[in-house]
């Protein structure tokens, strides 16, 4: 999550619902993967990864004890995910605790940013760039950013101003993994449980537009992050998908 954290820090200073596991092993090389090379998906390399994961199983038990996985995920899927992470990162440099911590930082930054006036101005005029908007563009893929803008533009109501006064992140849990051997990408999904405390203000004075002054939204959402694994030493995480789900 270093890329998301650093991008967010720079910008701030300036201003499907089921767990899944899949391995796509098409078009991959035939050399064994080391920490400086993309992972290989030949049988021997995969077997070596399983052995390393088994030797490191205490770390998996620790992740499980800390409830870092989505509740209904079977232990078999947890173990398989752990082995695949060992395969992608042969030096065992991936730490799920650190990743989920970074994912919470990303959630906090994105949700706080989309309620800013700068983002609302951008919805009206896309030429009005600003540090908060640049923040979103830095941590999200272009497709994800454009989908977010389209969704907010469609639901926008200029008669009501909504502000986020408090965001509670109750949990962030690993919920899915995909390794794309053809494009050399790793995709991880995170399930969040959040509560948004909002205030609503009428922007026009009329008895016909009276609205509740406060709203509390308790929700579950799943966000998906992606990175290239061409160089496992330097993951470059970006947010590629986000949607509300149910527990």
DSSP conformation letters of 163-214: EEEEEEEEEEEEEEEEEETTTTEEEEEEEEEEEEEEEEEESS--GGG---SE
Please check whether residue 49 is in contact with residue 14, taking contact to mean a CB–CB distance below 8 angstroms: no
222, two tokens: 């799943």
Does pTM top 0.75 for this prediction? Answer: yes
Token code pair at residue 212: 């509740």
| Predicted pLDDT of residue 27 | 31
Per-residue pLDDT of the chain (247 residues; tens, 9 = 90+): 655 555 545 544 444 333 333 433 333 332 223 345 666 667 788 899 999 999 999 999 999 999 999 999 999 999 999 999 999 998 777 999 999 999 999 999 999 999 999 999 999 999 999 999 999 999 999 999 999 999 999 888 877 889 999 999 999 999 999 999 888 999 999 999 999 999 988 877 655 555 568 899 999 999 999 999 988 888 999 999 998 886 5
> Any idea what the Cα angle at residue 10 is, between residues 126 and 166, rounded to 5°?
75
What is the spatial distance between Cα 188 and Cα 165, in angstroms, rounded to a whole number?
A: 29
As a whole number of Å, the CA-based R_g of the chain is: 20
Query: For residue 30, what pLDDT is reported?
Result: 25
Percent of the chain that is helix, strand, coil (3-state, to 5): 40, 30, 30
- The answer to whether the beta carbons of residues 156 and 122 sit under 8 Å apart is no
* pLDDT value for 33: 32
Does residue 229 contact residue 217 with C-beta atoms inside 8 Å? Answer: no
pLDDT at res. 93: 77
State the pLDDT at residue 45: 83
Q: In the numeric block, which tokens belong to residue 29?
A: 């090389």
């Amino acid at each position: 999550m270093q890329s998301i954290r650093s991008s967010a820090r720079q910008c701030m200073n300036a201003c499907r619902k089921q767990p899944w596991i899949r391995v796509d092993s098409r078009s991959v090389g035939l050399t064994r993967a080391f920490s400086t090379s993309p992972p290989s998906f030949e049988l021997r390399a995969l077997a070596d990864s399983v052995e390393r994961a088994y030797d490191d199983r205490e770390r998996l038990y620790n992740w499980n004890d800390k409830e870092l996985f989505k509740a209904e995920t079977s232990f078999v899927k947890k173990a398989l995910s752990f082995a695949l992470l060992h395969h992608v990162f042969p030096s065992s440099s991936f730490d799920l605790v650190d990743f989920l911590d970074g994912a919470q930082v990303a959630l906090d930054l994105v949700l706080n940013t989309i309620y800013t006036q700068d983002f609302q101005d951008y919805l009206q005029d896309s030429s009005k760039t600003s540090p908060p908007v640049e923040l979103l563009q830095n941590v999200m893929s272009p497709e994800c950013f454009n989908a977010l803008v389209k969704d907010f533009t469609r639901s926008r109501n200029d008669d009501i101003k909504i502000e986020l006064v408090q965001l509670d992140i109750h949990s962030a849990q690993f919920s899915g993994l995909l390794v794309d051997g053809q494009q050399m990408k790793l995709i991880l999904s995170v399930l969040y449980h959040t509560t948004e405390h909002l205030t609503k203000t009428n922007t026009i004075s009329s008895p016909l537009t009276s609205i509740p002054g406060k709203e509390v939204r308790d929700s579950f959402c799943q966000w998906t992050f992606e990175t290239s694994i061409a160089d496992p030493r330097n993951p470059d995480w970006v947010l590629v998908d986000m949607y509300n789900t149910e527990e």
